[in-house]
Every structure is written in structure tokens, then in C-alpha cells.
Structure 1
Amino acid sequence: MKKWLPTLTALSLAAVFLGLYIGSVSLTPSDVTSSVAYGVESTLSRAFHFVKPGRTPKAFIIVWELRLPRVLLAYLVGASLASAGVASQALFRNPLADPYIIGVSAGAGIGAALGAIYAPSQMGTLALVSALLSVFLVYAVSRVDGHVPVDTLLLAGIAYGFLASAVTWYLVLSQGERAHVTWMWLMGSFNGADWRDVGEMFFVSLLGIGFLVWKWRELNLILFGEESIALGLDVHFYRKLFIGATALLTAFAVSTSGIIGFVGLVSPHVVRLILGPNHRNLTPASALFGGSLLVLADLIARTAARPTEIPVGIVTALMGAPFFLYLLVKHKRGELYS
């Protein structure tokens, strides 16, 4: 058993417990454990017709219905963005690449703004559809003779990002008094998370992260770019698969929680500094670390300025921007490996 696995698992459990324990309502550790245990027993009872559990704990609604879905969703989103960040940095062979680089967040912003105007209850769904369509558009524009050069895809993603952002801000400004809803979404939030969101995100995370963990050898090889062809790798085929997995993970993350920056950039770097660049360990470790990081960031977002809640995207930006500047300085000095 690798030493990093129990360490990061313990970090994840600690982050989740803190997310459940700390909040606007004071709880005891026994309130948290008894409420989670009762919730699990009740779920199993409904599913397998067990004998119903005993008396409902007093903090059950707070822990099981409000805090636990939010904490789990934050963890899954963080894990997905971190894993997508690992794949993005391998795909573009650029240590400063992040999951949003191919236009996912910009496209999701258009869908969210349109949803806020015409169908507020479907804002997340429209953001998801718009994000996936944007990735398809960027990919189609980048194709050259049936292939997609990395540099062309990068430039197309950046150009589309500027265009989509301009459209999004225009739509936001046109909403008048309702603009604050879209503003909050664009800055990221887990407020209002429910078990349906958790279920959808869990399924997508399982598929996307599982695929990237399974294909760790191909991620290692794709770092060599076109030279990987000589090593027997179908670069263009796997590039499509990895772009698809990255887009899927990021699009679903954005559609459920808004645009949360820096998690997909910082998490792979912190883990890479400790474990090295081998994707066999890097991808799953980054997922565990990214999930823990976003749970703690969300905890800060909802408790630092009580009773006001800070958008979690602001917290991750405050945490990640200094680290990004540090990486940029090292990159300029040639000290940063991809």
C-alpha cells in the first residue's frame, strides 16, 4: 500500500468531517456521527426493507439534508477539476494549463446567463449543454487535415473564451435586477446542493476519473507529443479521448457549482512536487487532494463572513493566485517541469 493513499484518505475524511461539524449552527461530534449513521441506516432500510432505525437525531436535517450533500458535492467537484487539470497539463504539455483552457467555463457562462433569463430552474442544465457544445466548436475549429494540433486547440480555446465571456457579460448586464443570480453562479457556489446533484456528479466523476486513472500509461506517453508515435501510441486517438474526459468532468462540475478556478491548476502541482510526474500516482492523488482542498475552501466561504456567504470561487482565487504567480516565476526561470 502506497504511503500517499492512507495519508490523502485521512485528509479527505478530516476535511469532510470538518465540513459537517463547522457551520452557522453549533454541533457536537456525536451530532455529526449519529446523524450520518441514522441517514445511512434509513437509506439502507428503504432500499432493502430493513427494520427502521430508532429515534431521529436532533441534528439530522442539518447534517444529512443540508451539510452532507454540499460537502460531498464540493469534494466530487474538486476531485473532478483536479483530475481534469492533470489531463490538461499532460495534453498541452504545459504546467500552467488548467481544465478551463478549452472553453468549457466560457461556454457554460453563456448557458447560465441564458438560463437565468429564460429558464431559471434549468440554469445548470443549460450551462452543461452550452459547455459541451463550446468544446465541440473549439475542437471542430482546431482540426487541421483530420488532426488537432495542440497549439491550435490552445489558441482556439483562448479566442473562444474571450468571445464567450463578452457575450456572457452582455447577457448578465441585460438582466437588470436579476443579474445578481448569474453573478453568484459565475463566481461559484455550493449553496442549495442536494442529493440529486451529488448522484449525478458521483456518476460522472466515477467514469471520468476512473478512465484517467486507468489510462495512466497513455498520459505518461502523451507528454512526449508526436514523439509518442514512435513508442506505439496513437496520439490523435488518445488526445480525443482525453479531451472528451476533461470536457465531461469540467462541464458537469461547472454546471453544478459554477466557475471555480485554480483547483485544477494548484492540486496537480502540489501533488507532483511530492510524488513526481508519474500519472499512475499523480492522477488519483490529485483527485483526493483536490476534493479535500475544495471542501476546505467551501468551509471558509460559508463561515468566514457569517451570516454572509462568500462565493467559493473568490476563496479559491485568493488561495490559488499567489501559487500561480509562484509557478509563473519558476516557469520563467526554467525550474518548472511539465
Structure 2
Amino acid sequence: MFSLRSLEVFYWVGHLHSFSRAAEKLNTTQPGISQRIGAMEELIGEPLINRTTKPITLTAVGRAVFGHAELILRQISAMQADLQLNRKTQRRVRLGVSETIVQTWLSRFLEQSSRQFPSIDFDITVDVTPSMLRSLQEGEIDMALALGPSVVEGFTYLKLNDFPLHFHAMPGLVAGRHLTYSNAATFPILTYPRNTYPYEHLRDLLLRNTDRPPRIFTNSSISTIEKMALDGIGIALVAEGSLRSAAHDGQLQVLSTDIALPPLSFYAFYPRGVGGEILGDLARIAQRTSATHAGGATLKNEVFDFVMPNDAII
């Protein structure tokens, strides 16, 4: 009948709606993927995939095969977990990470993950949340440590930790080290990109509480934001603990402020079902690591499942 590898190939083609994405996911070639699917269709005597649609879809027979393939692969994953084979099998995990986490607890997460799963290799991409969530849906990464909560079709998310947002400035830049709505209009605010929560929320607050258009300089690199603040270009608005030595040796000071901003909340996003078991383990390691970084606070072990997509930006 079908080999286990062929069922795995077919499952990921159907799940990702793409030959090329399935090939990347399985670390093989697109012609190899097409050959296996073609062999399955020849054996059954009917097409499994509608190749004329974009993205590709499954035929009625294809959907039936997909359901059986998923059940078989889930059972194999359960057996591997029971026998702890997932700790021994070499695997590559493509991980998307927010830079705030990179600057704070990512290294400890990687250390703890390597101890528990020594055969896992990580390919790490640092990006903003909207891009990472798109990459998850398109199968370009396996897991994301990103801002949330957010709804991603076919994925689960697990709450990590919160980071308070603070304004930082060079000593003497802001009188009395106190930032108000009034004097905030005097200096550019240096913060995260336009398609992220801090920018949108800050801009809305400043527009509603001042009579001037806000001056907000955005950048996806925290190190660049820090350098600009050190050069006296403006006031940095970043998550607590994400700046490097400048905040510790007094080159940049935390400002008291009248501008109240909710914290950044981070979550681990990973797929439900096939392929998600070991990623769930990694998400729980991330949760424990982030709780330690937050000072030992206990986080609820809450996992959320969603099936409807949502393109809203955090």
C-alpha cells in the first residue's frame, strides 16, 4: 500500500496547501514530493489533489486519505512520545523569536531545551509578530515566540510572560526625569515598528492627549533604538530588560511618566496535532524559562486552540 513516508508527505502537502512548502518542511525536494504524490494517485487510480486551484486543494478522495494519514501519524507520534524516542531523534526546529525575547531569556530557553532534547537543532529567525504569524501559517517556521494573544488558524498558543514598557533617555534630556503628554511632543519617541502594538497604542494616546502630531521614530532593532537614544536623538520606549549595558551603567535612565501603556504579552505559538507534540514540550520549557526571568512568578498553564484566522495586528 502506502509507505509511512508517502503518508507523511501527503499529509504536509494537504496541510500546507503547497508542494514547495511541504518540501521545505520535510527537508526534501519539490520533485521528490510530486513523485510520491503521483505514485499514490496512480495506485488509487484517482487524483488526490486539485492542482489547478491556488492554493492547491484536496479532492474528495484526497480528503479521505488525509484523514487516515493524520490518524496514523498522530498514533506514531504518541508511540514515540511514550517511548521517549523524540528525545533521541535528530530534528530541526525553525523558531521565530521577538527581539525582546532574544535580548532577555532566549539563551536560557535554548540551554534548557538542549538539555531535555539534545538531538534538536534550532534555526532562529528574529522578526516582528505579524511577519512571524504569517510565516507560521505558510509553513516557513515551526514555532513562534511572539506578541499575543492572536488567532492563527490551526495553531495553539501558550502564555509566556509580560514585559512592562518603559521610557529611557539620556540623563538631563528630560527635565526632572518625568515624561508628560506635554513634554513628550518635544522629543521623538524611538520604538517598535508601525505594525506592532506599542506604536499603535502610543500614537493613539498622544493624538488624543496633545494638540500636535506625535513624532515617533520606528525601528525593528532594539539595539538600533538603544544607539539612537544614546546619541540623544530621542526617548526610547522598549520592554523592560531589553536594553543592554546602557541602562545598567547609567547612560540611559528610566523616566517616570503620565503615559500609561499596557505591558507586552508574549506567547508561544505552535501547531495542533501532527508535529506539534514536541513543540508543545518546547513551549512549556519557554513558559518555565520566561517565568524565571519574570522573577519566579507562576504562570497559568493555559493552552488555547483556535480554528478561525484573524489578521488583526497586536
TM range (shorter): under 0.3
Higher normalized strand content (fraction of residues): 2
- Flag the structure with more relative contact order, 1 or 2, with Cα contacts below 8 A and sequence separation at least 6: 1
TM-score computed with the length of structure 1 as normaliser: 0.24
TM-score computed with the length of structure 2 as normaliser: 0.25
